Structure 1
Amino acid sequence: MKHDEFVGAVQNRAELASRGEAIRVTRAVLTTLGERLQPGEASDLAGPLPMEIDIFLHQADSGQIFDYDDFVQRVAERANADYADAAFYAQVVLDVVDETVPESELQDVTAQLPEGYDDLFELLATDEYY
């Protein structure tokens, strides 16, 4: 998937008013996810993503430990959104990531996250990650 397609998919699914908002939301989610993942996994996940998108994972300070509520709160702060919107935006971005990366990459991501993160993957078409 190319950058414009990725951003357009996030904008459309999250019902955002502009591409700029879609990019801000994507950056918020992927930066926060990159912080939660181990450095090698953040890089692996970034590999198949468009270059303009993968940088959010590469620049994250990986290896941090925080729970799902903290994850959503970080996304909310970065995206300038409330908690409920941030949780939805995170699901949307991960749904688009799911369509972009090989299945094994997202399985590796879910293997690193504790059970409390299940809501993050709620929009995915399959439940094979749980």
Structure 2
Amino acid sequence: MAMHWDVFLDRVQERGEYPSRAEADRAARTVLALLGAHLVGEVRAELAARLPETFALILLNPLQAAEPLSAERFVRATAAWIEGATERTAAWDVGAVLSVAADAAGEELTRQVLLQLPPGYDLLFGRPQDTDPGHSP
């Protein structure tokens, strides 16, 4: 069941602390367009099915990425697409949008999405994976 557009944007606006829904919408469109270029097949289709239709279409017709971007470069690319953004504000944008997308997707699908992405995206989705046994928080 797809998350409703209003609910999705309200959550993005709340997490990103945007003064307007228009800013939340712009961040969501940019981030999901970039994310869509990194996902393939069933996983992309499944995620799209759980997003509001407007954002599902953006995910399914993404901006083309020549190569999978590292989490850091994904944030930089987002900054380049959002007028007036800095890497710091873009990291905020990405985190707000992807954490809401993860909520819409649910844990299992989010895990499958993360498997298709380079390391480091778990933090952007607000789902830090403690995969390294020697790693302490």
TM exceeds 0.5?
yes
Q: Which runs of 5 or more residues in structure 1 are unaligned? A: none
Kindly report which structure 2 residues correspond to 1:24-35, keeping only aligned pairs within 5 A, or say none.
Answer: 24-35=26-37
Q: How far apart are 1:39 and its partner, in Å?
A: 4.6
Distance 2:60 2:75 in 1: 20
Is 1:71 matched up with 2:74?
Answer: yes
Shift of 1:99: 1.5
1:35, 1:62 within 8 Å by CA — same for their partners in 2?
A: yes
Instruction: Point out the structure with the larger helix share.
Output: 1
TM-score w.r.t. the length of structure 2 is 0.81
Rounded to whole Å, the distance in 1 between the matches of 2:110 and 2:94 is: 14
Q: 2:135 maps to what in 1?
A: none
Give 1:119's aligned residue.
Answer: 123
Task: Report how many aligned residue pairs link the two structures.
Answer: 127
Match of 2:134 in 1: none
Which residue in the other structure is 2:25 paired with? Answer: 23
CA distance in 2, matches of 1:20, 1:39: 30
CA offset at residue 101 of structure 1? Answer: 1.5
Is the 2:12–2:28 Cα contact (8 Å) retained in structure 1?
yes
SS at match of 2:37: helix
In our comparison, the structure showing a higher alpha carbon Rg is 2
Report the 3-state secondary structure (helix = DSSP H, G, I; strand = E; otherwise coil) of the residue aligned with 1:66: coil
- String of CA shifts for 1:61-95, please: whole Å, max 9, x gaps: 37842222221111112222110111111111111
Identity %: 33
1:14/1:92 contact within 8 Å kept: yes
